[in-house]
Structure 1
Amino acid sequence: MPHPVGYVLRAVSHIPAKARKSLYAGKRIDVANRVSSDYEVRSRVIRKPNVVKRRLYSQALGEKLQLNVTTTALRAIDRAGGLDRYLLKTPDSLLYSDLGSDLKFKIGLLYRHKWHEQRQQQQGQQQLQLQQQQGQQQLQLPGAAAAAAKKAAAQLAGGGRRSKSLLPPAAAAALDKAAEQSQ
Structure 2
Amino acid sequence: MSRICELTGKGRQVGNNVSHANNKTKRTFLPNLQNVTLLSDALERGVKLRVSTHGLRSVEHVGGLDNWLLKTSDTDLSLRVRRLKREIAKKIATTTEAAA
The reply to whether TM is greater than 0.5 is: yes
Cα-to-partner distance string for 1:57-91 (whole Å, 9 max, x where unaligned) = 10011011121111011011001100111111100
2:10 paired residue among 27, 36, 58: 27
1:113 paired residue among 83, 88, 94: 94
Structure with more of its chain in helix, by fraction: 1
The question of whether the paired residues in 1 share the 8 Å contact of 2:38 and 2:65 is answered with yes
Q: Which moved more, 1:29-38 or 1:80-89?
A: 29-38
Structure label with greater radius of gyration? 1
1:88 paired residue among 53, 70, 88: 70
Paired letter, 1:30: Q
Which structure 1 segments of 5+ residues have no match?
1-15, 120-183
The question of whether the paired residues in 2 share the 8 Å contact of 1:24 and 1:72 is answered with no
SS of corresponding position for 2:17: strand
The structural deviation recorded for 1:17 is 5.0
Which residue does 1:36 correspond to in 2?
Answer: 19
- Taking structure 1 as reference, are residues 17 and 34 closer, same or farther at Cα in structure 2, changes over 3 Å only? closer
Which residue does 1:60 correspond to in 2?
Answer: 42
The question of whether the paired residues in 1 share the 8 Å contact of 2:34 and 2:52 is answered with yes
Paired letter, 2:14: V
Q: What is the total number of aligned residue pairs between the two structures?
A: 100
Which residue does 2:54 correspond to in 1?
Answer: 72
The structural deviation recorded for 1:36 is 2.2
TM-score by length of 2: 0.89
- Taking structure 1 as reference, are residues 58 and 24 closer, same or farther at Cα in structure 2, changes over 3 Å only? closer
Root-mean-square deviation over aligned CA pairs: 1.7
Structure with more of its chain in strand, by fraction: 2
Which structure 2 segments of 5+ residues have no match?
none
